Amino acid sequence: MAHDPLRSCILSAMRGRSVLEIGVAAATALSVGLLVVMLASPWLPQPSDAPMPAALEPSPEPSASADGEEPPIGLYLLRGAFSFGPCLALELSPESYPVSEDAQGTATVLWWQRGMTGCDARTGDVHEIDASVSRDLAEDDEHLIGYAVDFTLPLDASSEQSVAAQITILAAQSTDDLLQALDTSADSGGFGLVLDRVPAVDPPLNPLPSAAPTAIQPTGVFLLEGPFGGDGPCLVLELTDASYPAEPGVEGTAAVRWWERAVADPEDPAQCLRRLGDIQEEQASVVVTVRDENDLPAAYGVHVRLPLASGAQPKDVDIVISASESTAEQLRATVVRPTGVPPLVFDRVDSIDPPLGPAP
């Protein structure tokens, strides 16, 4: 067929129109699809807030060990009183913590006697003492348990006697605001302690009332050192609560046991531990003979009748016990009647029952 130019133009125009129509149709379909998606978006599944799988989470930084953490520094007040009685505070500085097992740090211990309301008040001054600090390591794996704070604590503000004390700060359980520790002093039993960080320690003075003075009133069985007067009978004085009169003018009662020694030997300190004959017992009366400036008994008079020699008739014996010179374990006394008898010393004994000795 011969080529017709007119036909070719017509076919070309028809093909161009078809492509244009197809493009318009496609664009229309795409617009409709987007509109549908936009309208339906509230009902479509939303992204989940659940955490990412562990494998996708970022790895946390390793936590610092107790050894690597900065130790607590500052002033820490003990809750309540220490086992030895006083109230305590502990002042820690960077120099308080030794870096090796052989080294020692230094710390300051503040102590005071508690006042009327406890450790938030004081009776007397606040005292400072130096303390040494050492590392406390576990025996099995040598990891750090804590820091042992050693110091010497006076028994009281006026006493020359003191006791060794130790507080072990637990490293893993303590923070900047609170120390957890143990009382690791000898024979303390390892009691737990808690110390709180405080800005200062300044308890107000609110002292406990002074204890009312009391007169010593020893009770028990007291054996006279040696025979009475050097060659008289051996004596035991037994005192009870009934021996001390509660009111002026009232007499107390005591028992006096006596026996004749088996062997008269002034050089023998145990000569009264053997007897010749039976043990005799007499009742004695006790009165207050002297009072001190506080109107307390300063001396007690003991009156009894005893034979002062073998086979002699009983005579009045008056002994004055000095309250100021006597203790719970020993009585010191003077003899008013008969005269010329040296001072007496009675020693406390659990019991006394001297056996019979050989006959002279």
CA angle 193–196–202, rounded 5-degree value? 115
40 inside domain = no
Residue 132 and residue 245 in one domain? no
Residue ending a domain, choose from 167, 198, 229: 198
Q: What is the pLDDT of residues 250-289, one digit of tens each?
A: 889 999 999 998 888 877 777 888 898 899 999 999 998 8
Domain identity same for 190 and 79: yes
- List Cα–Cα distances, 326 to 63, 239, 250, 323, 334, in angstroms: 67, 13, 22, 5, 12
Number of domains in the chain: 2
Distance (Å, rounded) from C-alpha 111 to C-alpha 77? Answer: 10
**Domain check: are 143 and 238 in the same one?**
no
The answer to whether residues 89 and 124 belong to one domain is: yes
Q: Are residues 86 and 168 in the same domain?
A: yes
**In-domain check, residue 317:** yes
The CATH number assigned to the domain holding 324 equals: 2.40.128
pLDDT tens for the 360 residues of the chain, in order: 444 544 444 344 444 444 445 454 555 555 545 444 454 444 444 444 444 443 333 333 333 334 456 899 999 999 988 877 889 999 999 999 998 888 999 999 999 999 999 999 999 999 999 999 999 998 887 789 999 999 998 866 566 678 899 999 999 999 999 999 999 988 666 778 999 999 999 999 999 886 556 677 899 999 999 899 888 999 999 999 999 877 767 889 999 999 998 888 877 777 888 898 899 999 999 998 887 777 778 889 999 999 988 888 999 999 999 988 899 899 999 999 999 999 999 999 988 888 987 755
Report pLDDT for 188.
65
Q: What is the pLDDT of residues 223-259, one digit of tens each?
A: 999 899 888 999 999 999 999 877 767 889 999 999 9
Cα within 13 Å of Cα(75), Cβ side? 10
**Preceding omega of 338 cis (within 30 degrees of 0):** yes
Is 213 among the domain residues?
no
In a domain, 359, yes or no: no
- 255 and 307, same domain (yes or no): yes
How far apart (Å, rounded) are the C-alpha atoms in residues 43 and 31? 20
User: Looking at the structure, do residues 250 and 130 belong to the same domain, yes or no?
Assistant: no
Domain that includes residue 290, residue range: 220-349
Distance in angstroms (rounded) separating the CA atoms of residues 359 and 102: 72
- CA angle 72-76-80, nearest 5°? 140
The answer on 244 and 333 residing in a single domain is yes
Q: Has residue 345 been placed in a domain?
A: yes
- For residues 303 and 285, the answer to whether their CB atoms sit within 8 Å is yes
From the CA atom positions of the chain, what is the Rg in Å? 48
Asked, for residue 194, whether it belongs to a domain, the answer is: yes
pTM above 0.85, yes or no: no
Same domain, 170 and 250: no
Residues 84 and 182 in one domain: yes
Is the same domain home to 127 and 248?
A: no
